[in-house]
Structure 1
Amino acid sequence: MPGEKATVVRDVVLVGGGHSHLGVLRCLARQPLAGVRLTLISIDSHTPYSGMLPGYVAGHYRYEQTLIDLRCLARYAGARCYVDEVIGIDRESRLVLCRDRPPVSYDMLSINIGSTPHSDAVPGAAEYATPVKPIARFNERWLRLLDRVRSRPAVTTFAVVGAGAGGVEMILAMQHRLRCELRALRRSPDDLRFHLLSASAEILPRHNAGVRRCFDRLLAERNVIVHRAAVVTRVLPGSVGLSSGDSLAIDEVVWVTQAGGAPWLRESALSLDGSGFIEVRNTLQTVSDPLIFAAGDCAALVSSPLEKSGVFAVRQGEVLAANLRRLAFGQPLQDYRPQPRCLALIGTGDEQAVASRGGMYARGHWVWLWKSWIDRRFMGRLAMRSAGSGASATGSPMADLDEAQTSEARCVLAGCCLPAGWAVPATRDGSLDSFLGGPGGGATLRTSLPPDTGGASAAQAGERIRTVDFLVAPVDDPWLFGRMAAAHVLSEFFARGGEAQAAQILVVVPPGCERKIAGDVAAVCRGVDKELQASGCALTAVRTVSGNEFAVVLVTDGRPGPRAQTWRLPAGIREGDVLMVNKPIGIPTLLAAHRRFPLPGRYIDEALRLLVESNQGAASCFREHGATACIRLEGFGLPEQLTALVSRVGLAAEIDTAAVPVADGAAMALALLLPCGSRQDVHRVWGSPDRNPSEPAPERIGATLFRMGLTAGGLLASVPGARAAGCLRALRALGYTRAASIGRVRTAGSYPEHGRFLISC
């Protein structure tokens, strides 16, 4: 896999992207663990920073400013990043069980997943309340609540359940933001009513009396009604029931009360406290298992219970990183010693804040500025910006790399054909079952071809489609790589109007610990098998060979479909046909740059989604709209594919480069690679540049992207002009949101329109 050079002998898995694990990633980025492979598993690739969340709710920050890019941070630390939900652990087999992917093996495990609202204990709370936690999904719930308030013309009454620091800060932030929203809509801010429900007799029970009096006055000034000793017993549409027997008419309920541990922890056989949090020793090792650590809100320190606060979680990160290192090398572990008093900075919604520490407190705008400075500094330390990113290519750190290295942008996903007569040796009995079976596998080995159901015409009965594809891993996730490889192979059959029936795989593995290699090979095979089975294709053999980097060779056999003869080149392309693609180009450019620079994770997320997105629906759509030809995008760029499509029938392709969809972030990625590579592509498409190629103009960047390799991309089809608009609407309805008409077929030798160019033989 990319970036793996040393032999891996241990796997350290971090479950969750909480504050403690952010510290672990920072520490291990500075001092990597030799022979240790680090893997982060998180339900999202971006996680909001809880310290800035009230400021976002109040409208002082954009949501993007509060996000921590976990994929980028993991890349900086040399860690694999798997975006999935953990649903359990198998301690006996040392496996982390995930919802959508195969289990992940570990030698040491750390859990930092925060807390989960236990609203199930209150009837109706899960259905009718908006929980603040888990924070990773809060923004979706908050935006829905905003929409409901904007669209409700009458008075809206809110209740925030929980009067700790989080609840008080949230109700003041909400009030500030919502009053501003109503003013913007030219409605009266007094149409909002707010209630704060405290289960105890005091608000902010963990803070000193001066802080409590300060917020009592502030809440009264802002007409927030505080209900003390008010335990919520039920939540109904439009009302909240209290333990006193009273009922409050409430339109929106926000749940900020104390949460508990994630439900799957109860099935883990780990020792938990009464709230479901993992009990840990001073070393942050769990009481039940010395190989499993826990930190942050999901952990409960047995020796001295702590308030659930990010301040403690951040401090635990350094100790956790040190103890993972010490345990890996057999050294004695150190204890985490929490500070006796911690500083709390509680926002009041209006760019002021209250500082609370021990028996002292202060309030004012300067406290807000102090809090904002601390939060921004924390985020700045986590922002791993690649030098030269988004700036001029001059002085790029890529300048010392040679052409062979930067050519990865063109060939990182490029497929190639092996010599004729090459075949995969038969696998030993049972080996494939062992790869595909086991916990989380569940695959059934099919060693014979599916029966022919008569889909091909009689003239095609004796014909077969056989493909050989070689792909180098562009990502450090073997399961995802297997899915990409299979999606690429199947696209050839979809483009030909055929059906894949059987596949054999040769996995090229780098040297390493046999147990670790076996796990990676199993993950690759499971990924391949997942995609193949979805298309009715059987994986019939697996073999491995040694190599310098992870790669696969897939040999696939199938039969042509009823449209295969029509779509075979040269096909029935006619002048006036519209050229269409169903996916954007530039994905290999993103992945190639990401191997050297931590690019924003949102770009990589979208690229990976597109790479595993099946082209089967697009192929069917093209057939239904009378496509005259269809080919898989691959090789060294779209121009070569267009040439192959039109030149054999003596026509030309007129392309509007502005209409060609490009993956988000691809131009930025190419700006990093272009100064020291790909200049010949600029010359080929645009002629000799009139200025220094190290300062590429945007159109040159677009032109180079246009020529980048497109393996594992989409399909290119020619559709009759009269049916092109309907085909495009149908593609987008199927989920191919970036599908586009990029040009049309014209006679060879004609002149292109302004802003377009011709491709012909």
Structure 2
Amino acid sequence: MQRQQPIERDLVLLGGGHTHAIVLRKFGMQPIAGLRLTLITNLVDTPYSGMLPCHISGLYGFDESHIDLRPLTRFAQCRLLMDEGIGLDLANQQVLCKNHPPIAYDVLSIDIGSTPATLDVPGAAEYAIAAKPVPQLLKQWRQWLTAVEADPAKSRVLGVVGGGVGGVEVALNMQARLWQILDRARQPRDRISIHLFHRGEAIATGRNRWTQKHLARLFKQRGIQLHLQENVTAIALAANEQRLVQCESGLEVACDRVIWVTSASAAAWILDSGLATNDKGFIQTHDTLQTLHHPNVFAVGDVATMVNHPRPKAGVFAVRQGPPLFENLQRWLTGRSLKPFIPQRQFLNIIDTGTGTAIASRGPFAAESRWFRAWKDHIDRKFMRLFTDFPAMTATQAPLSLASAESTPPPCAGCASKVGGDVLSLALRRLQQAFPAVADWPAAADVVVGLAQPDDAAVVRVPPGQLMVQTVDYFRALLDDPYVFGQICVNHCLSDLFAMGAVPQSVLAIATLPYSSPRKQADTLYLLLAGAYQVLAQSKTPLVGGHTTTGPELALGFAGNGLVEPDHLLRKGNAQVGDRLILTKAIGTGTLFAADMQLKAKGRWIEAAVASMQQSNYLAAQSLRQHAATACTDVTGFGLVGHLLELVQASEVAAELDLTALPVLPGARATVAAGIVSSLQPQNSKAAQALQNQRAISHHPDYPLLFDPQTAGGLLATVPPEQAKAAIAALQALGYANTCEMGVIVAAAKPAQPITILS
């Protein structure tokens, strides 16, 4: 049996820009054995700058104009960490993150883009909408479009600050979209006025004179008012919630919205990172795309400036840097000399007018034509297909080898597969430093022997008059992010305790770490346990011990102990006729992650599922107990019907389940409709024998979701009818937004078929 190559080196890609998207695709086609890829990004859908103006004008939909990084990272066998870099520890080779512990790297590449400059102009940050980050711009834009559609007869004023190519395209395409709304409502187009403020003498800075003059004529034809050589000095809040754009000349214009599209600036933390930067804060790089003083750190895209070949901050250069960055990263990792990259001086620039034509310019030549719009559409769609149409990979494709890779003996089994003592000590020491308050948690007083003592087993005290509730769960990682996986896994385990009314007292961890060097094993173990501790801290549950081993893939589990007073124990067998069924979370994780494995799930679907799985059932269980819950179970591997069946059989009752009330995670209906289900689905579907009306309901599109296995799913509880509304309101107030009443408990007329599905 072929074993996985041990992880020897870490390549971390910080930022999901165009360059890194290309690099990921190429790594998927030409991997390096022993290399672990990690992408850190706060956007799972990264906007493609070439299509963004036409997305604003409505020509392209969201998916057409955004690169979905989730299937791309899956194809590249790359860990995806949804987070934002806020600094670097160059001495220890770590990326400092906003929400994750530091992420170690051997080689780092930075492609985090830029933000509009001069947002420190008084009032700009408060009252203007920055062009970047793009998701915030699009969110505000959609909200304004909704307001215009609701009242198209109202006159409105839009201001755009910045007359470079970006500002020009924003103004033209926003106007085109607003005109569409006014035309449909049969309102005159002059209901919308647009003002563009630019400190230069001509718009489209950097383009040839014909393009600049032609755009000025086009703006005049379309009624966009140009304010040239006007330096915006402040934006103030005016009457009727308008924004007053104030210029150095004394010009003032009241606008309903102001879009800030000025020249680019670098993230503030770059200046404090220790990397060499220019006077504008951009990272300086050699021709090889390496930073000046840290050869294992590369930088590309808008955040970087090549010292010998400075170029404008434009998407075309980021795209062109993809292949040379990939080649030089591979050369660095495999011990070969790097190749210099010299970007072109002139490039084809196409400005979309938003009305079916485009202006193409290169050097001194320029023209406007519908053919240019069609040409650009062909180019952009071809580029975007790189990230949706992945080539089939075959087992015969031999990966490259790392320069430092050494021949390692086959991994042993039995006790020899355990993780070394140094690895455990390092990970636990970091854990104790990160969570020093654990010793003060109330349950810590019950720990007689735990992690602090080098004994063979943990020892905990059971307080008199209480029962010990025990559970265990263990499964392969469904995410490449060990920190988030740690949170999900411990949530899944503790839910068994919560469902029985118990308060967690302690947990033991069992982890399988991928074959790798001791240092990398320690990093992975720390991330796993740090994620778990984030959840354990909510219920103040100490980790008292565990077991670690190595294997071909990451896996994690927990054995949990809980305490409960005998008369507070919740059992599946106590549901009463007339009780209402309450479900606290949406379902669909099984089909979504099955689709994710097939590269057919959208990143935003998976992120919504992850957010649901990260939500602990701790507060939900407390609330249900306060509302006199009679029976409870957690919805996990057996699916909704499977767990409900256990409950009604134990209680010797029946249930009517309202399928129309079923809360479903985003995307789950689409993946089920595509025939994508979990590998456990066929076994779960055997529970359909317990449905009184299986044949009548089996055609319903949501029917397969009744058997979908859940990871870290919600609680399914029965409460007295007089408590149902209050219980649902309380749970929703606690953040369980999808909580709903799913049905009612009835007398068991047919014990062999105790569940009826209503639709």
TM-score bracket, normalised by the shorter chain, equals 0.7 to 0.9
Percent of paired sites with the same residue: 37
| 1:226 alignment partner, SS class | strand
> Does structure 1 residue 301 correspond to structure 2 residue 300?
no
Q: Could you tell me how far apart the structure 2 residues matched to 1:260 and 1:736 are?
A: 40
Which residue of 2 is the match for residue 344 of structure 1? 349
| 2:108 alignment partner, SS class | strand
Q: 2:571 aligns with which of 568, 573, 576?
A: 568
CA shift in 2, pair 1:584/1:258, >3 Å: same
Letter in 2 for 1:461: G
Q: 2:296 aligns with which of 291, 310, 331?
A: 291
Which residue of 1 is the match for residue 452 of structure 2? none
Q: 2:439 aligns with which of 446, 462, 470?
A: 446
Which residue of 1 is the match for residue 326 of structure 2? 321
Q: Residues 496-535 of structure 1 correspond to what in structure 2 (within 5 A)? A: 496-535=500-539
Which residue of 1 is the match for residue 559 of structure 2? 555
Q: 1:331 aligns with which of 303, 319, 336?
A: 336
Shift of 1:23: 0.9
Q: Does the Cα contact within 8 Å between 1:445 and 1:540 map onto a contact in 2?
A: no
Which residue of 1 is the match for residue 688 of structure 2? 685
CA shift in 2, pair 1:204/1:428, >3 Å: closer
Q: Residues 586-625 of structure 1 correspond to what in structure 2 (within 5 A)? A: 586-625=588-627
Letter in 1 for 2:245: V
| 2:360 alignment partner, SS class | strand
Q: Could you tell me how far apart the structure 1 residues matched to 2:623 and 2:295 are?
A: 55
Shift of 1:292: 0.8
Which residue of 1 is the match for residue 396 of structure 2? none
Q: Residues 89-104 of structure 1 correspond to what in structure 2 (within 5 A)? A: 89-104=88-103
Q: Could you tell me how far apart the structure 2 residues matched to 1:526 and 1:675 are?
A: 29
RMSD: 3.2
Q: Does the Cα contact within 8 Å between 1:686 and 1:700 map onto a contact in 2?
A: no
* Greater Cα offset, 72-81 or 638-647: 638-647
CA shift in 2, pair 1:548/1:28, >3 Å: closer
Shift of 1:711: 4.2
Which residue of 1 is the match for residue 449 of structure 2? none
CA shift in 2, pair 1:731/1:186, >3 Å: farther
Shift of 1:20: 0.6
Q: Does the Cα contact within 8 Å between 1:201 and 1:229 map onto a contact in 2?
A: yes
| 1:120 alignment partner, SS class | coil
CA shift in 2, pair 1:328/1:447, >3 Å: farther
Letter in 1 for 2:688: V
Q: Does the Cα contact within 8 Å between 2:431 and 2:530 map onto a contact in 1?
A: yes
Q: Residues 226-305 of structure 1 correspond to what in structure 2 (within 5 A)? A: 226-237=226-237, 238-305=243-310
Q: 1:365 aligns with which of 352, 370, 376?
A: 370
Letter in 1 for 2:615: E
Q: Does the Cα contact within 8 Å between 1:131 and 1:255 map onto a contact in 2?
A: yes
Which residue of 2 is the match for residue 421 of structure 1? none
Scaled by the length of structure 1, what TM-score is found? 0.85
Q: List per-residue Cα deviations over 1:596-637 (Å, max 9, x = no partner).
A: 434211221111111111112322332233221112223433
Letter in 2 for 1:265: I
| 1:373 alignment partner, SS class | helix
Q: Does the Cα contact within 8 Å between 2:426 and 2:522 map onto a contact in 1?
A: no
Q: Does the Cα contact within 8 Å between 1:73 and 1:384 map onto a contact in 2?
A: no
CA shift in 2, pair 1:38/1:446, >3 Å: same
Shift of 1:639: 3.5
Q: Does the Cα contact within 8 Å between 1:433 and 1:445 map onto a contact in 2?
A: no
Q: Does the Cα contact within 8 Å between 2:508 and 2:545 map onto a contact in 1?
A: yes
Which residue of 2 is the match for residue 146 of structure 1? 145
Which residue of 1 is the match for residue 491 of structure 2? 487
Q: List per-residue Cα deviations over 1:53-99 (Å, max 9, x = no partner).
A: 11122222223321210111111111111111111111111111111
Shift of 1:135: 2.0
Letter in 2 for 1:737: A
Which residue of 1 is the match for residue 82 of structure 2? 83
| 2:265 alignment partner, SS class | coil
| 1:297 alignment partner, SS class | helix
Q: Could you tell me how far apart the structure 1 residues matched to 2:150 and 2:535 are?
A: 43
Shift of 1:245: 3.6
Q: Could you tell me how far apart the structure 1 residues matched to 2:624 and 2:438 are?
A: 33
Letter in 2 for 1:515: R
Shift of 1:686: 6.1
CA shift in 2, pair 1:499/1:4, >3 Å: farther
Q: List per-residue Cα deviations over 1:618-676 (Å, max 9, x = no partner).
A: 22332233221112223433344223322233222333445443433345545555698
Which residue of 2 is the match for residue 409 of structure 1? none
CA shift in 2, pair 1:357/1:489, >3 Å: same
Which residue of 2 is the match for residue 168 of structure 1? 168
Q: Could you tell me how far apart the structure 1 residues matched to 2:619 and 2:341 are?
A: 54
Q: Does the Cα contact within 8 Å between 1:115 and 1:297 map onto a contact in 2?
A: yes
Shift of 1:204: 1.9
| 2:168 alignment partner, SS class | helix
Letter in 2 for 1:643: L
Shift of 1:189: 2.2
Q: Residues 183-198 of structure 1 correspond to what in structure 2 (within 5 A)? A: 183-198=183-198
CA shift in 2, pair 1:428/1:257, >3 Å: closer
CA shift in 2, pair 1:219/1:738, >3 Å: same
Where do 5+ consecutive residues of structure 1 fail to align?
A: 388-396, 398-423, 453-457, 689-696
CA shift in 2, pair 1:122/1:150, >3 Å: farther
Q: Could you tell me how far apart the structure 1 residues matched to 2:346 and 2:671 are?
A: 46
Q: Could you tell me how far apart the structure 1 residues matched to 2:253 and 2:589 are?
A: 54
Letter in 2 for 1:76: F
Which residue of 2 is the match for residue 414 of structure 1? none
Shift of 1:252: 2.5
Which residue of 2 is the match for residue 55 of structure 1? 54
* Greater Cα offset, 265-274 or 424-433: 424-433
Where do 5+ consecutive residues of structure 2 fail to align?
A: 238-242, 394-418, 447-461, 692-696
Scaled by the length of structure 2, what TM-score is found? 0.86
Q: Does the Cα contact within 8 Å between 1:435 and 1:521 map onto a contact in 2?
A: no
Q: Does the Cα contact within 8 Å between 2:654 and 2:751 map onto a contact in 1?
A: no
Q: Does the Cα contact within 8 Å between 1:386 and 1:599 map onto a contact in 2?
A: no
Q: Does the Cα contact within 8 Å between 1:475 and 1:591 map onto a contact in 2?
A: no
Shift of 1:346: 0.3
* Greater Cα offset, 734-743 or 480-489: 734-743
| 2:38 alignment partner, SS class | strand
Which residue of 1 is the match for residue 67 of structure 2? 68
| 1:376 alignment partner, SS class | helix
Q: Could you tell me how far apart the structure 1 residues matched to 2:420 and 2:23 are?
A: 44
CA shift in 2, pair 1:716/1:151, >3 Å: closer
Which residue of 2 is the match for residue 382 of structure 1? 387
| 1:121 alignment partner, SS class | coil
Q: Does the Cα contact within 8 Å between 1:502 and 1:539 map onto a contact in 2?
A: yes
Shift of 1:364: 1.7
Which residue of 1 is the match for residue 217 of structure 2? 217
Q: Could you tell me how far apart the structure 1 residues matched to 2:555 and 2:62 are?
A: 39
Q: List per-residue Cα deviations over 1:438-462 (Å, max 9, x = no partner).
A: 6xx354443983458xxxxx99724
Q: Could you tell me how far apart the structure 2 residues matched to 1:249 and 1:575 are?
A: 64
* Greater Cα offset, 45-54 or 580-589: 580-589
Q: List per-residue Cα deviations over 1:209-248 (Å, max 9, x = no partner).
A: 1111211211111122222221112222232222334333
CA shift in 2, pair 1:310/1:721, >3 Å: same
* Greater Cα offset, 646-655 or 608-617: 646-655
CA shift in 2, pair 1:651/1:595, >3 Å: same
Q: Does the Cα contact within 8 Å between 1:10 and 1:37 map onto a contact in 2?
A: yes
Q: Could you tell me how far apart the structure 2 residues matched to 1:337 and 1:268 are?
A: 26
Shift of 1:679: 4.5
Which residue of 2 is the match for residue 436 of structure 1? 431
Shift of 1:199: 1.4
| 1:146 alignment partner, SS class | helix
| 1:490 alignment partner, SS class | helix
Letter in 1 for 2:82: V
Q: Could you tell me how far apart the structure 1 residues matched to 2:616 and 2:334 are?
A: 44
Shift of 1:739: 2.6
Shift of 1:749: 2.9
CA shift in 2, pair 1:189/1:686, >3 Å: farther
* Greater Cα offset, 660-669 or 167-176: 660-669
Q: Could you tell me how far apart the structure 2 residues matched to 1:103 and 1:612 are?
A: 20
Q: Does the Cα contact within 8 Å between 1:682 and 1:703 map onto a contact in 2?
A: no
